[in-house]
Amino acid sequence: MSEAVVDASALLAYLFDEPGADAVAKALSAGACMNAVNFSEVLAKLSDHGISVDQALSDFKEQGLLDILEIVDFNLANAEEAARLRHTTRDIGLSLGDRACLALGRIRNSQVLTADSFWAKVQGMDVIMIR
């Protein structure tokens, strides 16, 4: 089972070698996972940067990223937990993707890595700011 949950902003920081990339690299080497919803966000953002989904997936496979990053399906348990988080995170303005990531962290009782500073306001979760 994965040690940490990585959100889209954290994986993008790693991929673009931005501040905090080293913290994500450490989490990946220890065993990390990501919700499929958040992985879709990463692929969409890469597409915005001119990298097709097919090319990104090919690059990830070639680099071994998909061997060390577990992609977890967004299933009924995740959907229920993300919905439960809506009430306690409404004032922070978290998106469904944000709540999907946090839900996975809660279900797996894992740290959640993010580059989104407003997540520091999330109560009752082990949220790690990578920068």
- For residue 63, give the CATH number of its domain: 3.40.50.1010
User: Cα–Cα distances in Å, from 34 out to 12, 90, 91?
Assistant: 12, 22, 24
Q: What is the pLDDT of residue 90?
A: 87
Which residues form the domain of 102? Answer: 4-129
What domain count does the chain have?
1
Cβ atoms 33, 66 nearer than 8 A: no
Say which residues have a Cβ less than 8 Å from residue 7's Cβ, sequence separation at least 6. Answer: 34, 38, 97, 98, 101, 112, 113, 114, 115, 116
| pLDDT above 90: percentage of residues in the chain | 89
- Is the pLDDT at 19 greater than 60? The verdict is yes
Q: Give the model confidence (pLDDT) of 32-83 as tens digits.
A: 999 999 999 999 999 999 999 999 999 999 999 999 999 999 999 999 999 9
Say which residues have a Cβ less than 8 Å from residue 38's Cβ, sequence separation at least 6. Answer: 6, 7, 8, 11, 97, 100, 101
* Strand segments (E) across the chain: 4-6, 32-35, 69-72, 111-114, 127-129
Predicted TM-score (pTM) of this structure: 0.94
